[in-house]
């Protein structure tokens, strides 16, 4: 199988490529990535001699057409992915998440290629803390931020291209990922690397917001289950029953790094901050037989802390510029 992976130099995409090289020797991988601030070729260094890397933009229709023509399956991870950035400057989110997805869909339509679309649980908006329901594939779309609204727009394009043009596509909406190679702008790596630097972790608002954590390896094994067995036109929600509030996550990071559990600062809240995400992944589990391998968040988080401690050379070049942006935001 020839596989085109967009965004393969980012967090989840690079882990996906590592996984594929390790477990799928029959797959030939080409990565298309623009290497924005969030992409890093160093994330692919361990597998560099086993893949083809193309630096380019998913909105470049000629380039995309050539690469799609030469593949069997497209897995589309590339995106502007950080909510805080989308609140400062939404335009790159519209460009990459909406126009980029449109460009890929037109190419897979022309060349009749299988397409898997990586999306997020944030398209469904948020839940109250005491809401008994979780997100399901039937939950109405209700995105809150420029990031999540552009991801929702991209999902709707995919659904329309399936129905109107018969494109052979599937969609997955996953909850919050953690693990190696995640950019230090994101919550968990930001706090781990702050602790390494002797800086107190930063908790937005009161820290009661809940995220449904899943290890990136479990996300990617679910993506493979959908590529292998997913029904065309279907949406699968990916989650590992990992709900935890931000305050508890920070306290666990402090405990795992040998710090007092209260050694963090409360900072101003994110505007429009979603309260809670929670995934019901029963369709994926019953229909495709998928189950997460990482059963405990504590063990997965401890391994992630150890990874950032051992791989400072990977994250150090991004750290100062990232924190300088947060200083401007007052967070």
Contact footprint for ligand DAU (CB under 6 A): 81-83, 120-122, 175-176, 186-187, 190, 202-204, 209, 211, 246, 270, 277
Of these partners, ligand NAD, ligand DAU, none, which one is at the site of residue 223 (CB under 5 to 8 Å by kind)?
Answer: none
User: What is the C-alpha to C-alpha distance for residues 22 and 43, in angstroms, rounded to an integer?
Assistant: 15
- Distance, in Å, from the CA atom of 274 to the CA atom of 272, rounded to the nearest integer, reads 6
Q: How far is the CB of 96 from ligand DAU (least distance, A)?
A: 12
Say which residue the tokens 């897995």 belong to: 75
User: Residue holding tokens 């019901």?
Assistant: 280
Q: Is 80 a catalytic residue?
A: no
Phi, psi at residue 284, to the nearest 5°? Answer: -60, -40
Judged by CB under 6 A, does residue 176 bind ligand NAD? yes
Tell me which residues in 111-130 interact with ligand NAD (CB under 6 A).
Answer: 118, 120
Which one among 79, 225, 249, 305 touches ligand NAD, defined by CB under 6 A? 79
Neighbouring CB atoms inside 10 A of 218's CB total 24
Measured distance CA(316)–CA(328) in Å, rounded: 20
The count of residues interacting with ligand NAD (CB under 6 A) is 30
Q: Which does 277 bind (CB under 5 to 8 A by kind): ligand DAU, ligand NAD, none?
A: ligand DAU
- 222: Cβ–Cβ under 8 A, 6 or more apart, which residues? 172, 174, 236, 238, 281, 284, 290
Residue 179 near ligand NAD by CB under 6 A:
no
Angle, helices 312-329 vs 187-196, to 10°: value is 110
Residue 41: enclosing H or E segment and its boundaries?
none
The piece of 79-87, 131-139, 193-201, 301-309 that touches ligand NAD (CB under 6 A) is 79-87
Q: Which of 74, 75, 78, 107 binds ligand NAD (CB under 6 A)?
A: 78
Binds 189: which of ligand DAU, ligand NAD, none (CB < 5-8 Å by kind): none
Q: How far is CA 92 from CA 35, 88, 328, in A?
A: 14, 11, 20
Instruction: Decide if 122 is catalytic.
Output: yes
CA-wise closest residue to 143 among 128, 153, 133:
153
Catalytic residue among 40, 57, 121, 185: 121
Query: Is the Cβ of residue 73 or residue 200 nearer to ligand NAD in the bound state?
Result: 73
Question: What is the Cα–Cα distance from 331 to 322, expressed in whole angstroms?
Answer: 11
DSSP 135: B
The label of the residue with tokens 């997913």 reads 230
Q: Report how far residue 197's alpha carbon sits from residue 312's, in angstroms, rounded to the nearest whole number.
A: 11
Q: From residue 288 to residue 327, what is the string marking binding to ligand NAD with x (rule CB under 6 A)?
A: ----------------------------------------
- Active-site residue, 208 included: no
Please give the structure tokens belonging to residue 69. 């023509």
**Of positions 4, 5, 20, 33, contacts ligand NAD by CB under 6 A:** 33
Shortest reach from residue 94's CB to ligand NAD, in Å:
11
Q: At which residue do the structure tokens 């992915």 appear?
A: 81
Return d(Cα 95, Cα 93) in angstroms, integer: 5
Q: Which of 102, 115, 124, 147 is catalytic?
A: 147
Least distance (Å) between residue 24 CB and ligand DAU = 25
- Binding positions for ligand NAD, rule: CB under 6 A: 6-7, 9-13, 33-36, 38-39, 57-59, 77-81, 96, 100, 118, 120, 151, 174, 176-177, 183
Q: Catalytic positions, please?
A: 121-122, 147
């Amino acid at each position: 199988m020839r596989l085109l992976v967009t965004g393969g130099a980012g967090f989840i995409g690079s882990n996906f490529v590592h996984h594929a090289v390790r477990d799928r020797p029959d797959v030939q991988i080409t990565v298309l990535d623009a290497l924005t601030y969030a992409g890093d070729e160093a994330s692919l260094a361990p597998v560099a001699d086993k893949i083809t890397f193309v630096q380019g933009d998913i909105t470049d229709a000629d380039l995309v057409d050539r690469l799609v023509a030469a593949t069997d399956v497209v897995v589309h991870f590339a995106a502007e992915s950080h909510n805080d950035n989308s609140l400062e400057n939404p335009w790159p989110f519209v460009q990459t998440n909406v126009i980029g997805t449109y460009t890929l869909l037109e190419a897979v339509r022309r060349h009749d290629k299988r397409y898997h679309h990586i999306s997020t649980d944030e398209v469904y908006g948020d839940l109250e803390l005491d809401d008994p329901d979780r997100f399901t594939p039937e939950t109405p779309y209700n995105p809150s931020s420029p990031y999540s609204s552009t991801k929702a727009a991209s999902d709707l394009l995919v659904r329309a291209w399936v129905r109107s043009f018969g494109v052979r596509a599937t969609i997955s909406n996953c909850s919050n990922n953690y693990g190696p190679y995640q950019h230090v702008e994101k919550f968990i790596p930001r706090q781990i690397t702050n602790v390494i630097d002797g800086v107190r972790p930063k908790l937005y608002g009161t820290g009661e917001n809940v995220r449904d954590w899943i290890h990136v390896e479990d996300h990617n094994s679910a993506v493979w289950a959908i590529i292998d067995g997913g029904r065309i036109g279907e949406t699968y929600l990916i989650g590992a029953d990992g709900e935890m509030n931000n305050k508890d996550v920070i306290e666990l990071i402090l405990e795992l790094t040998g710090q007092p559990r209260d050694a963090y600062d409360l900072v101003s809240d994110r505007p429009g901050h979603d309260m809670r995400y929670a995934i019901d992944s029963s369709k994926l589990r019953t229909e495709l037989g998928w189950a997460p391998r990482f059963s405990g968040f504590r063990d997965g988080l401890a391994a992630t802390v150890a990874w950032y401690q051992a791989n400072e050379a990977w994250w150090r070049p991004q750290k100062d510029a990232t924190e300088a942006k947060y200083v401007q935001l007052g967070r």
